[in-house]
Every structure is written in structure tokens, then in C-alpha cells.
Amino acid sequence: MKEAKKITRRNFLAGSIAASAAITAGMPFKEVKASPQNDKFKLKYAPGFGMFKEHAGKNLIDQIKFMDEQGFRAIFDNGIMRKPVSLQEKIANELAKRNMDLGPFVLYADFKVKSFVTRDKEIQQMLIKKMKEGVETAKRINAKWALVVPGRFDEGLEWDYQTTNVIENLRLCCEILEPAGLVMVLEPLNAWTNHPGLFLTKIPQTYMICKAVNSPSCKIINDIYHQQITEGNLIPNIDIAYDEIAAFHLGDNPGRKEPTTGEINYKNIFRHIHMKGYDGVLCMEHGKSKSGIQGEKAVIEAYRYCDDF
């Protein structure tokens, strides 16, 4: 039986320095390697247009093809409502051909105005009009989910009154969305780094509102980047609010880049979500830690690593 290697201050420090270097680099200790093309990811991670333009070029259909070849099973496009109808239809047809899902598109997200927190009749008519436009867009692009941010809070109105107004306005929206089968996903956003002054900030708050609205067309999109900043406790909050969560947004913190570049253990989160049977979309709403082709490769390798559970 061989004698165990004696631990000295020198070899202990050498090991510590190597570990620190790996953490500083923002990547796991073991080497990250991409799986072969066409090896589909376990979960439906959804890149946005432009994420892989160095590889695929500027043509959006070519970008979808590249995403599919790399094993991605979904895409997301926040701004698809603003695209020409002919392009919307081309995107939808290509996704259908490749059996890929489309993540939530932005239906309403005005960060500058007090909208859902009010009883203003003109604002309510605007929201009704927006919901109808969203339903028509969803029909063209075969979308299941549409994202809504309820706007700013009102410094001059008691918080519970504002909450009541938000619930009533969301019920008004659901009267239009529910018959069409379109699910509105509410996104709580962090006030500390990105979006000060917004009404909706936390998962428990959004969960309570969805329960009060009580409609299959009013659910949560859990942006893990924002929630790490706002409240942490990511997996327990996923578990408690799971019956009202319809989609996820991704991004590491700090920096809002791909997984493995920050403090969030995405491999554990993805494993946990997969074990719960989640089959929805996880939108890759983040930047890249490196520029050019190397940055695009780093994104794919990071998701391969985190999907390897």
C-alpha cells in the first residue's frame, strides 16, 4: 500500500492557485467540449437572433438552421411583433419544419409609464388593443406565450391599491387572451442593476398576482438573472411557484453573460428543472463573454457543459 502524498504548504498553495485561476476564467474545472452536431440538448434552450451571426451570417433563416444543427430545440425573438408579416411567416414556417419552439415574444413592456397600476380608462383601452394585436401575431407565428411587464409603480398610491389595479387589468387582458389560447407571461425584473421603478420585481409577488387573476392565460416567466439579483433562493422559489411558471429567461450574474461566467450554478438548476419534467422554453437572454466566433463557441460549450447532467 502506497504512502499518501504528504500535504505541504507549497503543494497546497499550488492547488489553490490552480483552482482560483479556473474560477477567475469563469469556466468549470474540467475542460468543456461541445457534443457532436445534431445531438439535441435535454432542455429547450433558446438562442435569440444574432447570437450566432458570426457562424451563420445575417440571414435569420440561416441562423435558425445553424441553431438546429447545434442541437438547440427552440429560439426566442422579443421583437418579432415589429417584423414584417412576411418575415414572421417565414420564421414560423422554418421553425415548424425543424420542430423547434418559439419562446415568448414581447407583447407589452413599457418601462417608462404607470400603466397596469392605474384605473385609467384610456390605458385600459390601449391594453385591450395591444392584447388583440398580440393574439393576431401569435396566430401567424404559432406562438404559445407572450411577455408582459406591468410598467412602473406609482409613488403616490398605496401599494395594495396598485396591486388590486394590476390584478383587475390583467383579468381584462385575459378576457381576450384566454379564448385564443395565448398565455401571457409576467416578468419580474430587478431594480438594483437594470430597471429601477418597476412594479413587478419578485417571484413571490408575481405568484400571488397570478393566483389572484386565476386564469390559464396569466403565468410567470422566471428570469433567473434578475431573480438572482433581487432575491436569490433560486431553486426553492422555482419549486414553490412552479405551477404558475410557464417559461424561463437565462443569464449569469454578474455580467449577464452565458452560464459558467458568473456565480449561478446553472448545471444544478437545469438538472432540477429537467427532473421536474419541464418541457417549456428557456430563453438565452444574455450577452457573450467573448467577441467573434470564439464568443459564439464559448456559448455553445457552456450550454453543453451545463446540459451534461
- Hey, which CATH number is domain 34-306, 3.30.70.3000, 3.40.50.1100, 3.20.20.150, 3.60.20.10? 3.20.20.150
Pairing between β-strand 245-249 and β-strand 218-223 as defined by DSSP bridges = parallel
In order along its 309 residues, the chain shows pLDDT tens digits of: 444 444 443 443 344 434 433 433 444 433 444 445 459 999 999 999 999 999 999 999 999 999 999 999 999 999 999 999 999 999 999 999 999 999 999 999 999 999 999 999 999 999 999 999 999 999 999 999 999 999 999 999 999 999 999 999 999 999 999 999 999 999 999 999 999 999 999 999 999 999 999 999 999 999 999 999 999 999 999 999 999 999 999 999 999 999 999 999 999 999 999 999 999 999 999 999 999 999 999 999 999 999 999
Pairing between β-strand 183-186 and β-strand 218-223 as defined by DSSP bridges = parallel
CA angle 193, 199, 202 (to 5 degrees): 65
Instruction: Supply φ then ψ for residue 185, to 5 degrees.
Output: -110, 125
Residue 8: its pLDDT value, please? Answer: 44
Nearest in space to 137 (alpha carbons), one of 167, 99, 176, 189:
176
Nearest in space to 44 (alpha carbons), one of 309, 244, 258, 273:
273
Nearest in space to 104 (alpha carbons), one of 64, 67, 137, 68:
137
Residue 26: its pLDDT value, please? Answer: 44
Residue 227: its pLDDT value, please? Answer: 98
Nearest in space to 152 (alpha carbons), one of 194, 96, 200:
200
CA angle 8, 12, 15 (to 5 degrees): 145
CB 44 within 8 A of CB 74: yes
Q: Report the C-alpha gap between 170 and 75 in whole angstroms.
A: 27
Residue 303: its pLDDT value, please? Answer: 98
Q: Report the C-alpha gap between 103 and 80 in whole angstroms.
A: 11
Q: Which amino acid is at 199?
A: F
Residue 290: its pLDDT value, please? Answer: 98
125-162 exposure pattern, b = at least 16 Cβ within 10 A, e = fewer:
eebeebbeebbebbeebebbbbbbbbbbbeeeeeeeeb
